Structure 1
Amino acid sequence: MARSLSPTVRRRRLARVLRGLRASAGLTLDSAAKQAAIPRATLGKLETGDLKRIRLADLDSLAQLYEVDNQRRLGMHQLAKDAIEQGWWSKYKDVFGAEALPDFEAEASFIRTYEAQVIPGLLQTPAYTRAVFTGTNAFAEEEVKRHVDARMERQRILTHAYPPEYAAIIDEAALRRPAGGIQAMQEQLHHLTDVARHPHITLHVLPFSAGMHAANLGGFMIMDFPEPADPAIGYAETPSSILFVETEEEIRRHDAMWREALNASLTVAQSIDFINEVATSLESYQ
């Protein structure tokens, strides 16, 4: 499977390039917009990555103003073209909303996650995902199917030619909370031990015996990218909102929480044994 491009990541990269060029030229936003004959609002959105319709003519005007060589100008053109590509997740706007998590996962080189209540979405089986959404009683059958299909599509990033490194810390509560019946839960647990055999996937269980820990306020994800110019992004969900964070201070805080949770977790080998023990314990309920 070929790797998808992320239009949002490309827009943000182009925005950083343009901000850097303007800063190097010693120009304010107002003066740059005036000299390039581009509306100030348009240039402002270009520099924040919020402009989805990017005119190559505007980039050419800026390249001329900033005295950019042809190679770099063409590179800006390519970023602009990549930024309008539609990822597979565009078919699931009803599921992911305006800011799509797969838009960032598509180009991440390292994904770290901590989950306290449920199995991480990228590691769920179809039956488990269905149980997650039917358990809320908030979705009609067709909506449940859409969520299941979208989540299975998301998981394909772990099996394409150049998958990201993926490290998950899973709280013991998520492993012991039945979802979809005993058989479905056993299938889910065995799936976890199966995927843990992949060299780019590592799983750690955070057992109850670890007591309180740094990440006890809820699940979150940190995504790093291969391009040094693309800053890491943190992601978290609440019942009513989705939060993306990317300032250095916020990422440092998330990174510290994740590492402290990791230090309190079982090793990979211990975690696999633990998951197998939980799966075996379910047999007594059949």
Structure 2
Amino acid sequence: MQRPHSPTLRRRRLSAELRRARSNTNLTTTQVVKQLKWAAGKLSKIENAETQTVKAEDLDKLMDLYEVSDSAQREALHALAKDAKLRGWWSNYREVFGPQSLPDFEAEASVIRTFESSVIPGLLQTPAYATAVFEGGRYTGVEEIERRTRARMERREILTRFNPAKFRVVLDEAALRRSMGSREVMTEQMQHLLYMARLPNVDLQVLPFAAGAHAALVAPFSILEFPEPLDLPIVFVDTATDGLFLEEPEEVEQHTVTYSDAQGSALSTTQSARFIADVLKTLESE
């Protein structure tokens, strides 16, 4: 299976490259628009990644104007423009993920750091557990719950594919104690957590009640980092709707510090595995 890529990140990368090329020629946006005889907002939408499609002929005009003559560089920019038009598997679940999709960014993330306080993170959920989570919300239609569960299960592929994303999790004890569905559902979920915790790309740390107050007494969040230098880290914060993306460097830094502090208060990965195993034993003995 071919590894999916993020159309959004490719579009942003293309915009960044074009802005840099324009800057290298000391041209202003006004000068570019005037020379190409474009509408005033056309270049702005391209440079701000607000347009999904950049026509090949428009891209060639920009590169000619910016004196981009290297054939490899021109080919790379055309490849970015082409990739930006493609749709990932998550586009089939637009009603589930919303217009700005978390899987869109997860597809190319090299490292994902997550703090979760109430439930097992979606990337580590079993189908039965995910179904129980959705049944606890307002999504009561059977078909809708099944569709949301399928979408969540497809997200998990980023952890087991070739060259998988590194997943670092700080999980509040409450997520382990909160019963979702039946005892059998929770037993299976704890077994799955222990299995995933053994993967070399997954680090799972439990933040026990005994730790008391800690820095992450806030909404659950994830920090996504990418291998390309032009793709800056972003933060995703869970909300009651579709979630919120934060991209300002100060916001990313604040969440990074918060995650590090919570990680420092959590048990080690080895201690956490023992903790989860004890929770599993309790479930199995009930």
Same fold judged by TM-score > 0.5? yes
Partner of residue 150, structure 1: 151
Partner of residue 110, structure 1: 111
Structure 2 CA distance for aligned equivalents of residues 17 and 137 of structure 1: 43
Partner of residue 93, structure 1: 94
Counting only pairs closer than 5 Å after superposition, residues 37-186 of structure 1 correspond to structure 2 as 37-69=37-69, 70-186=71-187
Unmatched runs of 5 consecutive residues or more in structure 2? none
Aligned with 1:228: secondary structure? Answer: coil
Structure 2 CA distance for aligned equivalents of residues 132 and 166 of structure 1: 21
Structure 1 CA distance for aligned equivalents of residues 261 and 2 of structure 2: 35
Structure 2 CA distance for aligned equivalents of residues 229 and 75 of structure 1: 14
Map Cα deviations across residues 81-115 of structure 1 (whole Å, 9 max, x no partner).
Answer: 01011111111011001011100000000011010
Cα offset for 1:241?
4.4
Structure 1 CA distance for aligned equivalents of residues 269 and 123 of structure 2: 18
CA contact (8 A) 2:117 2:175 kept: yes
Cα offset for 1:14?
0.5
Cα offset for 1:240?
3.0
Partner of residue 200, structure 1: 201
Cα offset for 1:237?
1.6
Identity %: 47
CA contact (8 A) 1:122 1:154 kept: yes
Aligned with 2:222: secondary structure? Answer: strand
Aligned with 1:83: secondary structure? Answer: helix
Scaled by the length of structure 1, what TM-score is found?
0.97
Structure 2 CA distance for aligned equivalents of residues 249 and 165 of structure 1: 23
Structure 2 CA distance for aligned equivalents of residues 171 and 251 of structure 1: 21
Aligned with 2:237: secondary structure? Answer: strand
Partner of residue 219, structure 2: 218
CA contact (8 A) 2:139 2:145 kept: no
Moved over 2 A (4+): 36-40
Structure 2 CA distance for aligned equivalents of residues 24 and 137 of structure 1: 53
Structure 2 CA distance for aligned equivalents of residues 5 and 184 of structure 1: 33
Structure 2 CA distance for aligned equivalents of residues 55 and 244 of structure 1: 28
Partner of residue 21, structure 1: 21
Structure 1 CA distance for aligned equivalents of residues 284 and 241 of structure 2: 37
Map Cα deviations across residues 49-76 of structure 1 (whole Å, 9 max, x no partner).
Answer: 1101210111111101110023212111
Q: Amino acid of the residue matched to residue 139 of structure 1?
A: T
Aligned with 2:118: secondary structure? Answer: coil
Flag the 1:85–1:241 CA change in 2: closer, same or farther, 3 A.
Answer: closer
Aligned with 1:38: secondary structure? Answer: coil
CA contact (8 A) 1:2 1:161 kept: no
Structure 2 CA distance for aligned equivalents of residues 230 and 136 of structure 1: 34
RMSD of the alignment, in Å? Answer: 1.1
Partner of residue 31, structure 1: 31
Q: How many residue pairs were aligned?
A: 285
Q: Amino acid of the residue matched to residue 282 of structure 2?
A: S
Structure 2 CA distance for aligned equivalents of residues 36 and 48 of structure 1: 18
Aligned with 2:85: secondary structure? Answer: coil
Q: Amino acid of the residue matched to residue 68 of structure 2?
A: V
Structure 2 CA distance for aligned equivalents of residues 241 and 94 of structure 1: 10
CA contact (8 A) 2:97 2:242 kept: no
CA contact (8 A) 1:175 1:278 kept: yes
